[in-house]
Amino acid sequence: MIPDFLKSIYYEFLSYFVPQKQTYKVVGECKKCGKCCNYMYSYDTYTEKEFKIMQFLFPAYKRFYIKGKDEDGNLIFACKYVTKDGLCSVYNKRLAMCKKYPANIIFYPAKMHEGCGYRVEGKKFKDFL
C-alpha cells in the first residue's frame, strides 16, 4: 500500500502534465448600456506615451481617449463615438474588436461592468478533478 503523502506527490507531479488550461466562458446578452465602450483596458499600454505610440501605429485607435486611471493605476480608455444613450454613433464603421466583443472564450478571469448583460463563468477546481 502506498502512503498518502507519496500519492499526493505523485498526483502533484501528474498535474503538471494536464493539457487543459483554464478557460472562462462569456455568457449573456448585450443590454446596450455602452459601459464596455466607456471603460476599456489595454493589456500592454501603461503610460500616456505608450498610448500615443499605439495610436500612431494603429490610426483607427485615435477614436479612443484616456478617461482616467483605476484604483490600481491602470489606464481606462473610452471611445469618442459612444452616445449618451450608450450606442455607437458610427455602428457600421466600428472596429473589428468592437464587432467581436465580447469573445465567447477568454483565458483570464475578467469582470464585466455592473449592470452588463454578460457574465464570465469559469470552472471551479473541483470540475478538473
- 49 neighbors 41 (Cβ within 8 angstroms): no
**Model confidence over 27-40: pLDDT tens digits?**
999 998 999 999 88
Check: CB of residue 85 under 8 Å from CB of residue 55: no
The verdict on pTM exceeding 0.75 is no
Question: What whole-number distance in Å separates Cα of residue 78 and Cα of residue 37?
Answer: 6
Domain segments of the chain as ranges: 19-128
Q: What is the arrangement of strands in the sheet containing 24-28, beginning at the earlier edge strand?
A: 105-106, 24-28, 118-122
pLDDT digits (tens, 9 = 90+) for 68-88: 988 878 888 999 999 999 899
Residue matched to cell numbers 493539457: 19
